[in-house]
Structure 1
Amino acid sequence: MLRIGHRGAKGYVAENTLDSFGEAFLLGADGIELDVHLSEDGEVVVIHDKTVDRTIANASGVVRHFTSEELWRLGDVPTLNKVLHWVPKNKFINIEIKDKKATHPTVLLIENFTLNSDLLYRNIVVSSFDWEILRLVKALEPKIKIGVLIEDDLEAAFQFAKEMKAFSINPNYKSLTKEFVQKAHASQFKIHTWTVNHPEDITFVKNLGVDAIISDYPDRL
């Protein structure tokens, strides 16, 4: 079972920063989950919200109205390119695309990063709640693994995963059942569940036999 730090070690360090990712690995994480948008200068940047208001002090506005350099200077927002080269090669990376316009640049970054090293595709999964983004990822580069993010409609996610030959289904842990995990495994899908923070919930999903747990507190896994 993979232990994945949600936006790094979000429970301890400012989310989606290199410090947060580093802390997650120090706490024993096998990988990290992060979110991407597109900056004003066309760079894929690692930030969750479409605005900077919540995560960057003394700044407000839409992410797309800031350059990547401004985002780095104002709030330690790294580019995806920087993160891909910074994360140890044996660690897992789940890239959640939040902005459809970031899809093509994200695919290009992954392709360039994995050039001449197909093994590295094993350690990268692209996920999204917007399944049209996942459809586009597969059309652009079929070798990239996708994870179907879903809140509660597990059957719809299962059918889409079959259609897209997805790597994983990534459901909210509250919607999971033992039967669904077994059904997914029978069709060769991994189950990467989120965001599991409390000890009793961690025990619950472990007993279901999930393949990865995404948590703000990777040391609890």
Structure 2
Amino acid sequence: MIIVGHRGAPLEAKENTIQSFLIAKNLGVDAVELDVHLSSDKKLIVFHDDAVLINGQNTVQISDLTLEELRKVTGIQVPTLEEVFETVGDFNYVVEIKKSSAFYPSIEQRVVDAIRERGLVDNVNIISFDFDAVKRVKEIDEKISTGIIFVGRLNWFLEIAKKAKANWLGIYYQLVTEEEVKNAHQSGLKLNAWTVNDLASAEKLERIGIDALTTDNPRKMIEILKSRKKNT
């Protein structure tokens, strides 16, 4: 079972920062997950929220701020996607596009270009709640792995994944059943359960055949799950 660090290792460093990703990598995760928006100066920025609060009063959309403005108002050295790839290096990444090109012009193409430039086509899984974003990525480069994230029962999303030519489905961990895992696998899809932070749930997911889990606490998951495998 693949262990993915959700926004890196957010219990040990600020989420979605290079420090967080490096900690997760050094802990031994199989991949790190990160979120991507497009700033007003067309930078691929790694940040979770759609908007930020300025001076405790005004909510401003990420798309209305430049990268430097975002860094200033948050007090965080918000990285670009390219900076993450350059610093964390040749590793495995789960890249969530937060909104499709209907909101962020050409964001899918920009993300694919960044992946290609770094030579990471085989190391990245691009995911989104937005069906159109996933579908568009496959239209740009069918070699890149993709996944649709959802909340709900799996069977309805199997058809959506098929239409988008997705490789993965990201499912809320409390909704996963053994039957759904089997149905996904029979449809040629892999399942990533999110966001798993307790051992009992992780053990259950591993037992029923989940392919990957995303966690806020990679240190605990790795220490327990991977050490147990060594002893079996």
Fold shared per TM-score above 0.5 = yes
* Distance change (3 Å), C-alpha of 1:80 and 1:131: same
- The correspondence of residues 149-188 of structure 1 with structure 2, limited to 5 A, is 149-188=149-188
For 2:229, the equivalent position in structure 1 comes to none
Aligned CA distance change for structure 1 residues 78 and 112 (closer, same or farther; 3 Å): closer
Select the structure of larger CA radius of gyration. Answer: 2
CA contact (8 A) 1:181 1:210 kept: yes
SS of aligned partner of 1:114? helix
Task: Note the C-alpha offset of 1:150.
Answer: 0.9
Assess, with a 3 A threshold, how the Cα gap between structure 1 residues 207 and 103 changes in structure 2: closer, same or farther: farther
Partner residue, 1:113: 115
Partner AA of 1:111 in structure 2: D
**C-alpha distance in 1, partners of 2:25/2:45?**
21
In the alignment, does 2:87 pair up with 1:86? yes
- Matches of 2:189 and 2:24, distance apart in 1: 25
Provide Cα deviations, 1:106-153, integer angstroms capped at 9, x if missing partner: 433433532595xx3221111111112212222232222210101113
Which range is displaced more, 185-194 or 95-104? 95-104
Identity across aligned pairs (percent)?
A: 33
Are 1:215 and 2:215 an aligned pair?
Answer: yes
**Residue of structure 1 in register with 2:42 after alignment:** 42
Is the Cα contact below 8 Å between 1:107 and 1:141 reproduced in 2?
Answer: no
Partners of 1:16 and 1:47 within 8 A in 2? yes
Structure 2 contact 108–136 (Cα < 8 Å) conserved? no
How many angstroms apart in 2 are the aligned matches of 1:141 and 1:15? Answer: 29
The TM-score normalised by the length of structure 2 is 0.84
Alpha-carbon distance change, 122 to 8 in structure 1, aligned in 2, over 3 angstroms: same
What SS does the aligned partner of 1:78 have? coil
Matched with 1:12 is 12
Q: Indicate how the Cα distance of structure 1 residues 111 and 168 shifts in structure 2: closer, same or farther if over 3 A, else same.
A: same
TM-score by length of 1: 0.88
Aligned to 1:28: 28
Range with bigger deviation, 39-48 or 74-83: 74-83
Counterpart in the other structure of 2:206? 206
CA drift of 1:103 comes to 6.7
Q: Provide structure 2 residue ranges, at least 5 long, that are not aligned to the other structure.
A: 222-232
Find the aligned partners of 1:116 and 1:34 in 2 and give their Cα distance. Answer: 16
**For residue 126 of structure 1, what is the aligned residue in structure 2?**
126
Report how far residue 58 of structure 1 moved. Answer: 11
Q: Distance in 1 between matches of 2:24 and 2:59?
A: 28
Q: Partners of 2:124 and 2:199 in 1: how far apart?
A: 27
User: Structure 2 matches for 1:34-73, cutoff 5 A?
Assistant: 34-53=34-53, 61-73=60-72
Change (3 A) 1:76 1:106: farther
State the secondary structure of the residue aligned to 2:213.
strand
**SS state of the match for residue 148, structure 2?**
strand
Q: Which amino acid aligns with 2:122?
A: R
- Three-state SS of the structure 1 residue aligned to 2:121 is helix
Q: Give the aligned residue type for 2:42.
A: G
Cα distance in structure 2, aligned partners of 1:135 and 1:162: 10
Distance in 2, Cα, partners of 1:178 & 1:139: 32
2:138·2:165 contact (CA, 8 Å) conserved in 1?
A: no
